[in-house]
Amino acid sequence: MSKGNSLLAIRPACLAALLLAGCQTLDPDWRREASTVIQDGGRTAIHELFPGVTWAAGDSGFRLLPDGVGAFVARVWLARSAGRTLDLQYYMINADDTGRLLTGEVLAAADRGVRVRVLLDDIYASPADHAIAVLDSHPRIEVRLFNPWTRRRGPLARAFNFLLDPRRLNHRMHNKLYVADNHAVIIGGRNIGDEYFDLETRMNFRDLDVLAAGPVAAQASASFDEYWNSEWAVPAAGLMDHVPTAADLASLRAALATHRETMRDSAYVQALGNSVIAGQLASRNLALETGKARVLADSPAKAGRAGGEPRAFLIQRLREQASGAAHELLVSSPYFVPRDRGVEALTGLVKDGVAVSVLTNSLAANDVGIVHSGYARYRAPLLRGGVRLHELRALSELATRREGRRRFGSEYVSLHAKYLVIDRRLLFVGSLNLDPRSIERNTEVGLLIESEGLARQAAALFDLASGKAFSYAVTLRDGMNGRSDALVWTGEQPGGRELRYDREPDTGWWQRFTVWLAGFLPFMESQI
């Protein structure tokens, strides 16, 4: 055998060695101790943020957070006011401007004695392993990674890990939860990152969170504890390639302080003192709606190879609530793939006299275009059954004018808000997309709130976003009873001038072709 042939024969073995050797950088069996929320009954500064509200037995107070800056401010104020515990559970925390600002606030809370627990899904975490290990080394901070990759050095190692264990790694924790002192919680659709707080320069997400204070926060803490103490949550201390020192922690603290100084004149740092919500929090006069609520959450066992018990999934409880609509159902879902069962359920409600409206992304506004191929095939059946469809525009003249007045962020938008309004009296806000991945594979969490006042506020947001100034109304060209499945999109320019399209608006032929082609892949729908 020639020397060249010998090299060729060795290369596959070398590749395997490179993928395996030194890549086991997270020990999945690292020792862990169970911990639960601190339920000390004493009042902290968190309680003092809501002093003027008298809640009936079992009621909580609620504030919608539709604006990215307000949602950022609320999180910072909870971090600064926490006196005992701060628990964060997220699919993704970015190391961008807002991510670093919030990390700085969390670190400052730990420095003054608050116990901080951070549970992060491992889908995008590995590039930040060193920073995660440094944070975890703080005596008052513990970080755990949910359903982690064990081979973490680069995309090849992760791909090899996925090939070895695809059924497990295809399940992700999509929850978004931020709990302070077992008394206040933020739940909704936002991850931690610039695009969720209107700071991204390319495209921002239009999202919705709810700030809740009172007894419902204890339910959120219980859900967090269940995930935290599950077999799927692996301590970041098991990142064996990263053994941080006290100097590393001091360096991170200094870097975050320097970054905050560079952001001093930004809309975000300024908003911490001069925004409406900051003023209301500072004066202890935050306007809240009251009502009863339940935290609906998937079990962490959904991440198991068997996928958990479907009857226990969040979606089952949400379907029960939606099926009880008597007059109106409003659905906002950025990724909307109803499948035949969903079409049947929604059109069945229409037959029973319920007005059903769905707001989702247009192809141009969808940040995951391939999801659109799963959605598109169901538009005609939904429309024939009387469901009203609205698709958010990626760019509208009215949105551009508003963006110009704000002087930050991008004028391009994508829907990311996930909520349902039932009869304008019941509201669900959470992390759940109405697509197969969220329903069957990801774990999700949300709040089901019985508050007519809050439900009406959410309905008003839906009415504004689904109006033709910001979205396209999608209809059948020949009407509900026509033979053709051809669609028409209509919108409005400022002044009332109509926009009308007979193909996916604001897109090019290649984008439309690739989405159309993806629709023929037999396995694709179950993965989106």
Return the CATH number of the domain spanning residue range 47-282. 3.30.870.10
Q: Which of 28-37, 306-315, 363-372, 495-504 has the lowest mean pLDDT?
A: 306-315
**Which amino acids are annotated catalytic?**
174, 176, 181, 416, 418, 423
Global pTM reads 0.91
Q: What is the largest distance, in Å, between two alpha-carbon atoms of the chain? A: 86
User: What integer best gives the mean pLDDT of the chain?
Assistant: 87
Question: Cα dihedral angle (262, 267, 272, 275), rounded to 10 degrees?
Answer: 160
Give pLDDT tens digits for 14-65: 333 333 434 446 888 889 999 999 887 788 999 999 876 667 778 999 999 9
Residue 213, beta-bridge partner list = 61, 184
Task: Report residue 522's pLDDT band, with 50, 70 and 90 as the boundaries.
Answer: low
- pLDDT value of position 308: 52
pLDDT greater than 70 at residue 108: yes
Asked if 309 contacts 152 with a C-beta cutoff of 8 angstroms, the reply is no
**Which stretch of 157-166, 169-178, 197-206 has the lowest confidence by average pLDDT?**
157-166
Does residue 362 have a pLDDT over 70?
Answer: yes
Is residue 521 predicted with pLDDT exceeding 90? no
- Helix, strand, coil tally for the chain in percent (to 5): 40, 20, 35
CA–CA separation, 483 vs 364, rounded Å? 27
**Would you state the pLDDT for residue 13?**
38
User: Which of 1-5, 38-42, 236-240, 390-394 ranks highest by mean pLDDT?
Assistant: 390-394
Residue type, 302: K
Which DSSP string corresponds to 441-456?
A: ISB-EEEEEE-HHHHH
d(CA 525, CA 441): 13
Quick: pLDDT tens for 365-399. Answer: 998 878 898 999 999 999 999 999 999 999 876 55
User: Do the first three CATH levels of 47-282 and 313-527 match, i.e. the same topology?
Assistant: yes
Per-residue pLDDT at 12 exceeds 70:
no
- Res 207 pLDDT > 70: yes
Give, as one character, the DSSP assignment of residue 503. S
Phi and psi dihedrals of 419, rounded to 5?
Answer: -155, 160
Cβ-in-10-Å burial (0-12, 13-18, 19+) of 273 comes to exposed
pLDDT of 524 reads 56
Domain ranges of the chain: 47-282, 313-527
> Cβ neighbours of residue 381 under 8 Å, at least 6 residues apart?
343, 347
Question: Where is average pLDDT lowest: 40-49, 359-368, 397-406, 503-512?
Answer: 397-406
Q: What percent of the chain has pLDDT above 90?
A: 66
Beta strand pairing status for 413-415 and 141-146?
unpaired
**In Å, what is the CA distance from 157 to each residue of 17, 19, 148, 162?**
11, 5, 13, 9
Amino acid identity, residue 352?
D
Q: Please, which residues have CB within 8 angstroms of residue 485's CB and are 6 or more apart in sequence?
A: 380, 476
Cβ neighbors of 359 (< 8 A, separation 6 or more) are 330, 331, 332, 333, 390, 391, 392, 415, 462, 465, 466, 471
Most confident of 49-58, 155-164, 394-403, 431-440: 431-440
CATH code for the structural domain at 313-527: 3.30.870.10
